[in-house]
Amino acid sequence: MDEYLLIESQGPWGGPGADRFVADATRLRRAGHRVALFLVENGTSAAFTGADEALRELLEAGGQVWVDAFSTTHRAFAPDRLLPGARLVDMDEVAGKLLEPGVRGVWH
């Protein structure tokens, strides 16, 4: 079983790539891999405003959804509107995950 740190920076309004990236995360999770999806920059918008359905599927499959606290503050997103199951994190936690042996990072 591999472990992935997938970093989504564009979000659902940045084009169709974000949805496909999240769908890839869900496929990896359903294939038995450990997956943490980190939403950063405009990617954080997916975790608010009604929430992206693809993120719910990832959470239901057992994946983790991390949301960059700095980016959400920068964009004035209210933390109480965060998608249930998603978690605010800081960059130190992301760095720690990336440094764990065997973790593969991908940035979109």
Could you list the residues that contact another protein (CB under 8 A)?
Answer: 7, 9-10, 17, 40-42, 70-71, 74, 90-92, 94-96, 98-99, 103-108
CB of 91 to another protein, least distance (A): 4
Are the C-beta atoms of 15 and 8 separated by less than 8 Å?
Answer: no
CB of residue 12 to another protein, shortest distance in Å: 15
- Least distance between another protein and beta carbon 70 (Å): 7
CB 74 within 8 A of CB 47: no
Nearer to another protein, 75 or 81 (CB): 75
For another protein, the closer CB: 1 or 99: 99
Q: For residue 91, give the nearest of 71, 64, 62 by alpha carbon.
A: 71
26, 62 Cβ separation under 8 angstroms: no
CB 25 within 8 A of CB 37: yes
